[in-house]
Structure 1
Amino acid sequence: MNVGKPPTSRDPDAGAGEDDKSGVVRTYQAWKGSNIFLLQGRLIFGPDVRYLFLTIFLIVVPVTIFCVFVARKLMDDFPHDLGISIMVIVVAFTLFDLILLLLTSGRDPGMIPRNAHPPELEGYEVNTEVGPGQTPQLQLPRTKDVVVNGIVVKIKYCDTCRLYRPPRCSHCSICNNCVEKFDHHCPWVGQCIGLRNYRFFFMFVFSTTILCLYVHAFCWVYITKIMNGERISLWKAMTKTPASIALLIYTFISVWFVGGLTIFHSYLISTNQSTYENFRYRYDRNANPYNKGIIENFKEVFFTSIPPSKNNFRAKILKEPAIQSRRVSSGFVSPNIRKPVTASDIEMGRKPVWEGVEGESDDNGRRDNNADGLHKLSGSSDISPDLSRILPPGSIEGLGISHPRRSSWGRKSGSWEISSESVASAVGESKQVTDGCNGNLTGQTQQSQTNFKM
């Protein structure tokens, strides 16, 4: 099975200034996925990391309200040590929940590095349905069969990453990466859930469920204390603590969401499935090649070492070569533009070529022959063909020829340009008169010496 390898790294202790000069960058700077990196590649997030702050807000704000309006009041109603423990437990549990959230969101979920080139072409199919004179195209098979625990499993070829995905691997369209044991992309944590962070994701969801139940329970305890202390009805006790009512409603709704996820993923772990596999393959109807039994399945998730990342995002690699513009005396020129025209070229009769005027081909391979048509329409054999190719559109109005391109030619300052007066003095006026009676064409052309100013 062909799995991509990260590019060859350089010495990680070299200075940043030397990297820029030598064309060396960090791996995370050249990463082609949609991920967001922080702390120089030490933290990696998905492109929707902004939702992570919403998740933190939905956890911290209710806990803060609980500590201020409920737990602080309960500290006086319980014995001293027990009252303080209510506050300590909720704060410690919240910090533990946030750490699990960051471990889920800020680490490599199991991304497979891309191949620089497709796999080897040995033994692959050749497309023989080609026309005469065409080169046969080599075609990679879209799928391959591998055997997992005695069951044949098909793996697919990823055109983006240029590799055959390992079993249980899938390409995330949001992060634009192939992820090992891909479960799903969770927008609440802003990251893919895969082989290297699924354990922390389940623990985060489970701990959030416990936190919701804890806050919900002690809000009822506080309301009960008010009822018994003031000997009032439940409704009157609830009106005396609106913060508890808001927390009861909030935690009741939240526990259905995170609690439902906890139950669902407990079922997936017990059957050794991922969310992607459960919705796509329906192992309830087919044999699951990864199911090892409930105990072994839970041990695989929680009591096995997490495999190391296949990516060293802080490693230094060579920057990919890019096409750069050439610098000439008059400025920068794109690689697809030829040498600029100078006065000596015109005097020597060389044929200047300008982008979009001559030598330019469209998508169908047709050349733009507007300049050649201009020379033919002028009808004068005394005009140099080279000069007719460089005439700007505004200078040929006297010839009665319209040009489709109206943009200015040349630079307005610090360069040379041809005006209509200089062209008229250079080539004269070309007149064509059609004799309606005899059908004879007569033309008179006057020429004068041309002066070009650089």
Structure 2
Amino acid sequence: MASRRVTRKWEVFAGRNRFWCDGRLMTAPHPGVFLLTLALICGTCALHFAFDCPFLAVRVSAAVPAVGAALFVLTLAALLRTALSDPGIIPRAATAEAAALEAAEAGRPPPRAREVLVRGRPVKLKYCFTCKMFRPPRASHCSLCDNCVDRFDHHCPWVGNCVGKRNYRSFYTFVVSLSFLAVFVFACAVTHLALAARGAGVAAALHASPASALVAAVCFLSVWSVLGLAGFHTYLASTDQTTNEDIKGSFSSRRGVSNPNPYSRGNACANCWYVLCGPLAPSLIDRRGVFTIDVKDELPPSFVRALGAVTVAPAPGGGAEPARHAYMNRSLDVEPAGAGAGAGAGAGAGGAVALSASRLRLLHDTTMIDAALDLDEPEPPPHLSVALPPLPPHPLTDCN
């Protein structure tokens, strides 16, 4: 009996990303520039190890090849980790969720943005007309990959991927390690030529080792931009900003009015620690999962239990409020905002039944609850309070 082929979620992925090794690896739709970056780094280092290292290991120190190899391995590992991993793609809204949101607006298009407060500062949740959802704060839609990315920094063609919440630290590691590697290889090539030119002259040294001259030229031309990029991203990490926010001037003073960054932790060390060493959020797209139309199959076990545990609470004026899932974020409710909630808060009581499994996972796994932007505390029903332990308290002020 012939077995039926299993369809993986990456095969029906809505974005433009390209997947490799049965969905284990993913890149942007056009990875050609990334291959050029890989070829430049590997080719330059190959010439360095073939011509400079043997000469300098004898004339200078045997540690020269070891240092070069360590920097090369670190740079290559960070590049591959950045280029081939999920940058923090946010799943698109399910059909039922998008339809419920449109129905809540009485047939009108959803508002372009809703406002929440982060540490007392208004932050807009912009509506994405492609993904049919209100994006979390700091998320943006990449037009090249056609996905919303959490904590979107920028789309980098040199690494062949978006840079976002899940791969920013590896991108920063790549840029910094590449800076050290370029400076080191350039210094080794110049040292090789300088030592070879003693007594024989510069022309003879260039004729004897043209590969070193080529390596020195490539490194000299690239090191300035790489060093500048490393310094720029060090500044961004120390202020807890993204490239997207810095270019738009999201936290710059306008017309004499101060607009401080609500995500900053007050000092550069704390910001760098959180951005570069904080907990890494799990991927939300489950690209190697089996594609199925059953929503419950997408949920982790805790959500499977919570999905069937909806509560009907008595309303103040009699009757009962609409049922809601155990895990719910009222800032993203899809009910009309007129039910006693302010227009800016976008709050409501119901609408949870329209949320897809991906959105429930989004509320639990991304910045909406677990990290710095706790828009609403999860409220498990009493009979699940033991089975589902509450999230640990977060030092930041809750957004109401």
TM-score by length of 1: 0.60
Correspondence for 2:53: 71
Q: Structure 1: how far apart are the matches of 2:103 and 2:22?
A: 42
Aligned residues: 286
Q: Structure 2: how far apart are the matches of 1:254 and 1:88?
A: 23
Task: Tell me if structure 2 keeps the 8 A contact 1:40–1:314.
Answer: yes
**Structure with greater Cα Rg:** 1
Task: Tell me if structure 2 keeps the 8 A contact 1:27–1:316.
Answer: yes
Structure 1 stretch 241-250 or stretch 188-197: which is displaced more? Answer: 241-250
Task: Tell me if structure 1 keeps the 8 A contact 2:92–2:131.
Answer: yes
Structure 1: runs of 5+ lacking an equivalent: 1-14, 127-136, 321-454
Secondary structure (helix, strand or coil) at the match of 2:151 reads coil
Q: Which runs of 4+ in 1 moved over 6 A?
A: none
| 1:317 aligns to 2:291 (yes or no) | yes
| 1:268 aligns to 2:268 (yes or no) | no
> How far off its partner does 1:305 sit?
1.6
Correspondence 1:34-433 to 2 at 5 A: 34-78=16-60, 82-83=61-62, 85-117=63-95, 118=98, 120-121=100-101, 124-126=104-106, 137-228=107-198, 231-234=199-202, 237-285=205-253, 286-292=259-265, 293-318=267-292
> How far off its partner does 1:91 sit?
2.5
1:220 to 1:191, Cα distance in 2 relative to 1, 3 A: same
1:38 to 1:233, Cα distance in 2 relative to 1, 3 A: same
Instruction: Report Cα offsets for 1:119-158 as digits up to 9, x if no partner.
Output: 64499544xxxxxxxxxx3331111001111100111111
Task: Tell me if structure 2 keeps the 8 A contact 1:124–1:141.
Answer: no
1:121 to 1:162, Cα distance in 2 relative to 1, 3 A: closer
Task: Tell me if structure 2 keeps the 8 A contact 1:124–1:139.
Answer: no
1:71 to 1:304, Cα distance in 2 relative to 1, 3 A: same
Correspondence for 1:29: 11
Instruction: Report Cα offsets for 1:210-232 as digits up to 9, x if no partner.
Output: 1110011112221232244xx35
Task: Tell me if structure 2 keeps the 8 A contact 1:212–1:255.
Answer: yes
Secondary structure (helix, strand or coil) at the match of 2:73 reads helix
Structure 2: runs of 5+ lacking an equivalent: 254-258, 295-400
Task: Tell me if structure 1 keeps the 8 A contact 2:102–2:109.
Answer: no
1:96 to 1:19, Cα distance in 2 relative to 1, 3 A: farther
Secondary structure (helix, strand or coil) at the match of 1:318 reads coil
Instruction: Report Cα offsets for 1:146-177 as digits up to 9, x if no partner.
Output: 11111001111111111100000000001110
The one-letter code of the counterpart of 2:167 is N
1:189 to 1:120, Cα distance in 2 relative to 1, 3 A: same
> How far off its partner does 1:95 sit?
2.1
> How far off its partner does 1:49 sit?
1.6
> How far off its partner does 1:42 sit?
0.8
Secondary structure (helix, strand or coil) at the match of 1:156 reads strand
Secondary structure (helix, strand or coil) at the match of 2:291 reads strand
Instruction: Report Cα offsets for 1:3-44 as digits up to 9, x if no partner.
Output: xxxxxxxxxxxx9x6443xxx521111111001111111111
Identity in percent: 37
Q: Which has the higher contact order (CA 8 A, sep 6+)?
A: 2
The one-letter code of the counterpart of 1:215 is V
Higher strand share: 1
Q: Structure 2: how far apart are the matches of 1:237 and 1:121?
A: 71
